[in-house]
Chains A and B, each alone.
Chain A
Amino acid sequence: MSAPSLAAALAAHGVDARVDARAALAVLTVPNADAAERLRDADVRRAVIALAAQHGFTTVALELASATDDRAALSGH
């Protein structure tokens, strides 16, 4: 399982998110709720889940960064 390589693969598909690996759970953190809108599309979600599976993750969840999160960390994945 590789969080950085999943983040890169997601970015190539137009989904910019920090990836936090917790065993087989991948937590995708996006900076704000507007950035999550793309994931409303079921096809996009399926593609993200498939990409995550290719990188060894069985479970994928989407998180909004909190207001106090370091935005630099988001852009530095």
Chain B
Amino acid sequence: MEPVLTEAARADVATAASSSPDSPRPSTTAREKEQRLVAWLAARRSVILGFSGGVDSAYLACAALEALGPARVLGVIGRSPSYPDAQWDAARTLAAQFGIPVLEVNTHEMLDPRYVANPSNRCYFCKTELWSVLRVVADERGFDTIVDGTNADDMHDWRPGLQAAREHEVESPLADLGFTKDEIRALSRARGLPTWSQPSSPCLSSRLPYGSAVTIERLRQVERAEAALRALGVDGDLRVRHHGDLARVELSADRLEAWLAAPNLRALTGAVRGAGFARVAVDLKGFRSGSLTVLGAAGV
């Protein structure tokens, strides 16, 4: 049976959702960083960037357009099974709306057994593939600088993909100029970018514990489960962590009270079971980035 929320349950969830704080206006510091960013970009002959349609790359693409114009900017969408189809649709829509020239290319990290084995430095192998592909595109089309949307906050996280970026001479102006995620959100909002309030959206492989092989079937299971929960009304941060037969659902902490109400919990459980998980459990702490890192390889 299709899981549905009762009217009262919908009201419960809507009340929780409406409590989200608004992003503040950009600070003077953020505005100054933006001026330095535009100047930095304008000093390049042309830039090609990894474009996912997420908060950071969308903002960077718009800044690059302002600095260089559309003929000297190219956003490359690296299509991979580890991202949900909905994300590519959103990236294309955003690019069309803001006039960002984009090219879609396929990446093949799933053919690399080192990636599929899902070690703790899995992202290194994925990014190595992505930047290798972008390097070829840049050389073929005469773009002189490759940039990515890494920001200053990212530098404090465990991100083995950064090493791949360094090895491929990918520049990270947002990180280098000290942009925090909050500043990027505020500046995005000021530019009218719909991504300003978008939750972070790391790849679907990040839902699998290290050591649990990355397979197309598991990625699609996670994709279906998260899509079903969004359709049910889950907003804000959301991760469906794949523990074999068990899905562990992480929701925004401020939505937990609403979703643990009996009718909502029943609907949530039904939605995730419908995506192919035998067991469904809601994490009692709610969403936190890198929760599988805490569990390590044993969290399968």
B261: nearest residue on chain A (CB-CB)? A40
B279: nearest residue on chain A (CB-CB)? A63
Please encode chain B, from 281 to 300, with 1 for each CB lying within 8 Å of some chain A CB and 0 for all others.
11111000001001110111
How far apart are A65's CB and chain B's nearest CB, in angstroms?
9
- CB atoms of B265 and A36 under 8 A apart: yes
How far apart are B299's CB and chain A's nearest CB, in angstroms?
6
- CB atoms of B269 and A64 under 8 A apart: yes
How far apart are B196's CB and chain A's nearest CB, in angstroms?
28
How far apart are A47's CB and chain B's nearest CB, in angstroms?
10
A44: nearest residue on chain B (CB-CB)? B284
Chain B residues with CB under 8 Å of A39's CB are 260, 284
Q: Does A8 contact B (CB under 8 A)?
A: no
- CB atoms of B283 and A42 under 8 A apart: no
Q: Does B257 contact A (CB under 8 A)?
A: yes
- CB atoms of B284 and A45 under 8 A apart: yes
- CB atoms of B266 and A33 under 8 A apart: yes
| Size category of the binding interface on chain B | 20 to 34
B282: nearest residue on chain A (CB-CB)? A62
Q: Does B207 contact A (CB under 8 A)?
A: no
Chain A residues with CB under 8 Å of B283's CB are 59-61
- CB atoms of A58 and B284 under 8 A apart: no
How far apart are A74's CB and chain B's nearest CB, in angstroms?
14
B249: nearest residue on chain A (CB-CB)? A61
**Contact partner, A62, options B260, B262, B296, Cβ 8 Å:** B260
How far apart are A10's CB and chain B's nearest CB, in angstroms?
12
Q: Does A23 contact B (CB under 8 A)?
A: yes
Q: Which residues of B contact A (CB under 8 A)?
A: 243, 246, 248-249, 256-257, 260-263, 265-266, 269, 273, 278-285, 291, 294-296, 298-300
A sample of 9 more A-B contacts (CB under 8 A), given A23-B296, A60-B285, is: A23-B295, A37-B262, A40-B256, A45-B256, A59-B248, A59-B291, A60-B284, A62-B281, A63-B280
